[in-house]
Amino acid sequence: MDGSRKSDGWSPGRWWRSRPLWHRWWIAVGTCLAVGAFGVGGLLAVDAIRIEQAPCDDKPTDITTSDYTLDFTVPNGMMPDPQFNGQKAQLSVHRVAPEYAHGRCAQTPARAAVLIHGRSVPGRAVFDLKGKDQNNNKLSVQEGLARAGVDTFVPDLLGYGRSTRFPHGLDDPHNASRPAFNAGSTTCAFPTGCDRTHNAQIFPLDQQRTKLGTNPLAGKMFAHSSDVRFATIDTWVRDIRQVIDDAIAKAQPTNGKVTLVGYSLGGPRVGRTLYAANPNPLLPDSATWIGKVDRAVFIASIFGMPTEETTPAGGFVSFPMTVADKAAMTSMPLANGPGTNEQSCSGRVVPGSQDEVWKELMKDDGAGKDWGGDDPHHPAGLNRSPTFSTYGWNTAVAGQVTVPTLILHGFGDGTAPVANSTAIYNALPAATKNKVVVQITCASHVFMYEGCSGDRCNAPSPSTVYGQQPGTPWAGPHGTATAALAEWITNGTFNGAASGKFTVDGSGVVH
């Protein structure tokens, strides 16, 4: 014997084969369960497990901006002038979306909103105005919402901005208004004809001479190529339905719905869209689109008009287009209200904001930028907007709204009185448990542009400015609007409340 030890021939394979079949089966099952539960490394050391997941972002890391068009054919009877029946048209849509560098985390909901502009200013200038306020906060509502995780879609409705206006519609300068008929009669002193209007304040007469006389009409007047109002509220409800479907398809919101926001005349357009009893045969199945809206917002809304289109005693306006110059389009008058007057509202008009509004309007108005002014070689520019009939948003219609509703209004609104907001709130169904009205000090009809400067912007201790970091000065009404929209779209609350009446004071504090 040399003292050496012979190998016993053991090996894992030989040991495995030596086990009974039933033993091998249970070992295999146990191994599979362990691997499934802990991973391969977990069989040896559970406390060393590291489950690697792909990185993701729960908040946007950036935003993206895009512009595109939606094609459609005008349905027969959808517009007052039958010459537009069956014509091809396009809606321009301005999208500002959140971007997630590593992808959006699964637990972070995708949200979307469709925002509808008002009577004369198209979408981009209302909701994505460039520039900053006195405290370096951006004015853009769309950008603020996108950074809060909301994918925003802003259309120029038919007849506005970059959307179709038609060669025999708003693209024809001859379709601006002519002088009035002789007083008390239907006789006209002008061979090219006269016009009538059902609202001289917003659809003024004699604009061919007063606004277009030099550029481009060179001192002449012309007959119209279209001699009726351009649109009805239902014309634009069709547009809104198309944009809702497009927004859902592109944004893929987690709940399959959008929040619908209406500013100024956008309020009646949104209200009509949410009216289940709309009798227009060209707009069937209102309930289908109402079901695609999770919440609604009315900002500085027009309110109180017939439920259905009603012909005025003197007839509707007899021309399809109205124009306005820079002074009219950038005016920001403030009506006196509780705590609201020019002396107490320092910094309300943000320096440079009026120029930014005009710059955006002229960028969006391909023909109008070459119209207007007294110098034939240097047009001053005019903003074009359509004429229409107003109806569809009143106490009866609001009483049938079924979606949670936020109402924002300025105490200093001289266009749509602040009482409109209270009337809308009170008209919403009594059973509605999710409705909020917010009335803002030092805010006019265009408060989404408005700021704040001076000592008044600092909230007195221990109060804090709504929607901002503690200790920061109030950005102004525009900051309140964006913060309120973001909270409502995301949570269905304002300042943490699902229902109630609130005011915001001149320092941005909620009461």
Q: What is the mean pLDDT of the chain?
A: 92
Count of CA atoms in the C-beta half-sphere (13 A) of 18: 7
In angstroms, the CA 305 to CA 420 distance is: 12
What confidence tier does 338 reach under pLDDT thresholds 50, 70, 90? Answer: confident
Domain with CATH 3.40.50.1820 in the chain: 62-158+233-308+388-504
- Provide the angle, in degrees to the nearest 10, between the axes of the packed helices 233-251 and 266-273: 70
Contact 156/122 with Cβ under 8 angstroms? yes
Predicted local confidence at residue 339, as pLDDT: 86
Which CATH code of 1.10.240.10, 3.30.70.380, 3.40.50.1820, 2.60.120.560 fits the domain covering 62-158+233-308+388-504? Answer: 3.40.50.1820
pTM exceeds cut of 0.85:
yes
Q: How confident is the model at residue 23 (pLDDT cuts 50, 70, 90)?
A: low
Please state which of the ranges 26-30, 355-359, 418-422, 480-484 shows the lowest mean pLDDT: 26-30
pLDDT at 20: 57
- pLDDT top residue among 255 and 37: 255
Structural tokens at position 34: 């362990």
pLDDT given at position 51: 55
Provide the pLDDT for residue 337.
Answer: 85
| Residue 33 predicted with pLDDT over 80 | no
Task: Identify the pLDDT of residue 2.
Answer: 37
CA angle at residue 160 from 91 to 177, to 5 degrees?
140
pLDDT in tens, 142-169: 999 999 999 999 999 999 999 999 999 9
Considering only residues 441 and 50, tell me which one the structure prediction assigns the higher pLDDT.
441
**DSSP codes joined into one string, 327-384:** HHHT------BTTBSTTT-TT-S-TTHHHHHHHHHHHH-TTGGGS-SS-TTS----EE
Quickly count: other Cβ atoms within 10 Å of residue 29's Cβ: 10
Q: Pick 132 or 51 by higher pLDDT.
A: 132
Asked whether residue 247 carries a pLDDT value surpassing 60, the answer given is yes
pLDDT higher than threshold 60 for residue 29:
no
For 406, the token pair is 């936020």
pLDDT at 43: 38
| Structure tokens, 488 | 């409502």
Q: Is 511 or 12 the better-scoring residue by pLDDT? A: 511
Look at residue 306 and tell me whether its pLDDT is greater than 70.
yes
- The band of 342, judged by pLDDT with boundaries at 50, 70 and 90, is confident
Predicted confidence band of residue 54 (pLDDT cuts 50, 70, 90) = confident
> Given a cut of 70, is residue 17 above it in pLDDT?
no
Q: What is the pLDDT of residues 408-464, one digit of tens each?
A: 999 999 999 999 999 999 999 988 889 999 999 999 999 999 999 999 999 999 999
Q: Residues 6 or more apart from 273 whose CB is under 8 A from it? A: 237, 240, 241, 260, 286, 289, 290, 293
Cα distances (angstroms) measured from residue 463 to each of 287, 498, 511: 43, 21, 10
pLDDT in tens, 202-244: 999 999 999 999 999 999 999 999 999 999 999 999 999 999 9
**Dihedral sign (CA 294, 300, 304, 309):** negative
Which residues lie below 8 Å from residue 358, measured CB to CB, with a gap of 6+? 326, 329, 330, 381
| Burial (CB count within 10 angstroms: exposed 0-12, middle 13-18, buried 19+), residue 214 | middle
Which residues 6+ apart lie within 8 Å of 170 measured at CB? 159, 230, 320, 321, 367, 384, 385, 386
With cut-offs at 50, 70 and 90, classify the pLDDT of residue 52.
low
Q: If residue 436 lies in a helix (H) or strand (E), which one and from where to where?
A: strand 435-440
For range 165-188, the mean pLDDT: 96
**Best CA proximity match to 144, nearest among 178, 177, 173, 115:** 115
To the nearest whole percent, how much of the chain has pLDDT over 90? 86
Residue 494, judged by CB atoms within 10 A of its CB (0-12, 13-18, 19+), counts as: buried
- Angle at CA 321, nearest 5°, toward 409 and 205? 90
* Rounded Cα distance, 483 and 469, in Å: 11
Q: Give, rounded to a whole angstrom, the gap between the first and last alpha carbons of the chain.
A: 101
Instruction: Note the pLDDT tens digit of each residue in 64-109.
Output: 999 999 999 999 999 999 999 999 999 999 999 999 999 999 999 9
| Number of alpha carbons in the 13 Å side-chain half-sphere of residue 484 | 32
What is the Cα–Cα distance from 265 to 290, expressed in whole angstroms? 19
> Which residue has 């599979």 as its token pair?
32
DSSP code, position 75: P
Contacts of 472 (CB under 8 A, 6+ apart): 135, 465
Average pLDDT over residues 301-313: 97
> What one-character DSSP code corresponds to residue 59?
S
pLDDT (mean) for 175-182: 97
pLDDT (0 to 100) of residue 161: 98
pLDDT at 305 over 50: yes
